[in-house]
Amino acid sequence: MSYEAVFFDLDNTLYPYAPCNEAGKRAAFDALRERGYELDRETFDDLYAAGRREAKRETRTTAASHNRHVYFKRALRRHAGDPAVASALAAGDAYWDGYVDAMSLCDGVEAVFDAFAAAGTDVAIVTNLTTRVQLRKLARLGIDDRIDLLVTSEEVGREKPSALPFTSALAELDCRPSEVLAVGDNVETDLAGANALGIDTALFVADGDAPADADLPERQRPDHRLDAFADLTEVAT
């Protein structure tokens, strides 16, 4: 069927996440080494993981749970016993510089967006993370002028699968749930969140394997599965 709008997740949906995350961590590791921290990569990874766990535990359901500067602030305090303000800032900045430099669109994204534009289908990005970082990613990917709306969990105050990011996008585009398709890689945040509102869903995982329907509870099951991003043209127009 055709839809009035398509809501896309960003991370690991429009581009592969894993290589970018690794590039970001490598850049942050190098930045800390340059600042005199005598860390090997294993120790760095352990500190990063500990800072990430602590941040996610204490900022759960909010966009701050993804903030790499928070991860490094917590990790360096654990490592050095002091705030390490300048180092946390340097590591966080280096992470995102390295991450963004490694980004590239999945095959087929631009052609699908062109098809949506020709069909008059609105494109929204509905994403968990802070607004500045997601704006930077969209600019890097060269699709900032191809989307009609960006909704981040930071600006609505709740993370997917909360209804708020989705209902905010519906209101902005003046669409009913039945007129929208939501596309994402995460069955809990992207699919369960949209399914709960009666929005049709499509599962596409840019990097990694998608779980089988038989392994998923009903609330996480997609209406469509995409083997390639280009398959969206047939599903949504």
Catalytic residues: 9, 11
DSSP string, 154-165: HHHT--TTSHHH
DSSP string, 9-62: --BTTTB-SHHHHHHHHHHHHHHHHHTT----HHHHHHHHHHHHHHHHHHSTTS
Tokens of 153: 């969990």
Dihedral-angle region of residue 176 (phi above 0 means left; psi in -120 to 50 means alpha; beta otherwise): beta
Phi, psi (5° rounding) for residue 200?
Answer: -60, 150
